[in-house]
Amino acid sequence: MEKYELIAPCHFGLEAVLKREIQDLGYEVSEVEDGKVTFLGDAGAIVRANMFLRTTERVLLKVAKIKAVTFEELFEKTKALPWEKYIPQDGKFWVAKANSVKSQLFSPSDIQSIMKKAMVERLKAVYHVDWFEEDGASFPVRVAFMKDVATIGIDTSGISLHKRGYRQMISKAPITETLAAALLMLTPWNKDRILVDPFCGSGTFPIEAAMIAANIAPGLNRNFLCEDWRHLISRKHWYEVREEAQGMINLSVDTDIQGYDLDPEMVKGARENAERAGVDKLIHFQQRDIKDLSHPKKYGFIVTNPPYGERLEDKENLPSLYETIGERYQALDSWSMYLITAYQDAERCIGRKADKNRKIYNGMIKTYFYQFLGPKPPKKKRSSADEKIDLCNRQ
């Protein structure tokens, strides 16, 4: 079966998380760059990457990497690419997005127009036609210029993969599903540990955590653009991967995941979102103020996206809010806290310097993922039955 190069874009600063995800799926990573990971796989890998990757925005089928410093050069090199390998005669094709960094060709609209013309010329010669109806499957092309080198790929996903299909109620400052999943995967949290989000908004952190705990594939309840690419990806691949994803789900998992918000409408919406995601039985949502945050158990996790003054009228309340966060965290014995915020004085107001700090761009906003690490829980004592099983296995 033919091997392709596939490109998975992600948030800047989270490439290592995505790389690990891809490797866990069994695919070879060929390149890691700022904001994207390239890997090798067959047609089945396109399906599985769209279905199972939690931290990428989309999956691109890489066509080529070319260098171009003039529009004439861009036209000729685009025209020389084997577009017929991917796009059938009735395919609908266009350059959906172009961006350019530190390159001589910097106008996105001109790049898009020139490349579309070149693709048309190539396919006219191959298919011996003068006009394309473009009434078949869609093949949106994306091109990214970096220092005069263009990476060209065809989008296999369609609607961004952060849209899992469950989130209809959205908070004022939402965090995307892909970013929430990536941040959770940066922590040592697992399904056996307590997780609380005291600013849950539309419920994204708790819902993504519950989907991870129950092993629910993020792409299970949505469709993908490349499902119509029947000349490249057989229907059998889709049936098999959906069946694989269904078989992995474990809704009987024992979890302690909680989401709080001061706004009752947000709590109601978060519950509805969780129900659409199929994890409402795994999460406890409640209307609660941050000042009332408490938990009787040890070794839990706070993972949250607190307000950081997007509106001017909110900024004056931030110092007292973050002081309260610090006070409530200090009262939680042996807990860890992970919060993403753009608020510059977060550490000072919390009253403790973070053990780790990672810069992450949430959209166009530069944020920091502050990591306050609590102690590890003691290892559980092994039962005599477990020891007997180990002894038998060694013999």
Q: How confident is the model over 367-378, as a mean pLDDT?
A: 95
Residues 199 and 280 grouped into a single domain:
yes
Residue 308: pLDDT band (50, 70, 90) is confident
Q: Strand ranges (DSSP E) for the chain?
A: 4-9, 28-33, 36-41, 60-67, 92-101, 138-146, 149-155, 195-197, 257-261, 283-287, 301-304, 336-341, 356-362, 365-372
pTM of the model: 0.93
Residues 140 and 267 grouped into a single domain:
no
Residues 191 and 77 grouped into a single domain:
no
Cα three-residue angle 29-34-36, rounded to 5 degrees: 45
Minimum mean pLDDT range among 160-164, 167-171, 291-295, 303-307: 167-171
Tell me how far apart the alpha carbons of residues 237 and 255 are, in angstroms, rounded to a whole number: 32
Residues 46 and 102 grouped into a single domain:
yes
Minimum mean pLDDT range among 75-89, 215-229, 259-273, 298-312: 298-312
Residues 150 and 181 grouped into a single domain:
no
User: Residue 349: which domain range?
Assistant: 177-215+250-372
Minimum mean pLDDT range among 42-56, 116-130, 358-372: 358-372
CATH number at residue 28: 3.30.2130.30
Tell me how far apart the alpha carbons of residues 176 and 95 are, in angstroms, rounded to a whole number: 25
Number of domains within the chain = 2
pLDDT over 90, % of the chain = 88
What pLDDT score does 1 carry?
75
Within a domain: 245: no
- Kindly tell me if the per-residue pLDDT of 393 is higher than 60: no
Give residue-wise pLDDT tens across range 1-24.
799 999 999 998 899 999 999 999
Cα 234 to chain centroid distance, Å, stands at 26
Within a domain: 239: no
Residue 380: pLDDT band (50, 70, 90) is confident
What pLDDT score does 361 carry?
83
Residues 350 and 289 grouped into a single domain:
yes
What pLDDT score does 391 carry?
52
Within a domain: 207: yes
What pLDDT score does 388 carry?
53
Q: How confident is the model over 339-368, as a mean pLDDT?
A: 92
Residues 193 and 142 grouped into a single domain:
no
- Kindly tell me if the per-residue pLDDT of 312 is higher than 60: no
- Kindly tell me if the per-residue pLDDT of 383 is higher than 70: no
Give residue-wise pLDDT tens across range 43-86.
999 999 999 999 999 999 999 999 999 999 999 999 999 999 99
Name residues whose C-beta falls within 8 Å of residue 343's C-beta, 6 or more positions apart in sequence.
306, 308, 309, 318, 322, 349
Residues 110 and 37 grouped into a single domain:
yes
Within a domain: 377: no
Give the side-chain half-sphere CA count within 13 A for 176: 18
- Kindly tell me if the per-residue pLDDT of 167 is higher than 80: yes
Q: How confident is the model over 289-310, as a mean pLDDT?
A: 93
Residues 271 and 330 grouped into a single domain:
yes
What pLDDT score does 309 carry?
72
Residue 315: pLDDT band (50, 70, 90) is confident
Mode of pairing for the β-strands spanning 365-372 and 138-146? unpaired
What pLDDT score does 172 carry?
63
Residues 89 and 151 grouped into a single domain:
yes
Residues 58 and 199 grouped into a single domain:
no
- Kindly tell me if the per-residue pLDDT of 175 is higher than 70: yes
Within a domain: 86: yes
Q: Which residue, among 62, 81, 67, has the nearest Cα to 146 in the 3D structure?
A: 67
In whole numbers, what is the pLDDT of the chain averaged over residues? 94
Within a domain: 257: yes
Tell me how far apart the alpha carbons of residues 102 and 148 are, in angstroms, rounded to a whole number: 7
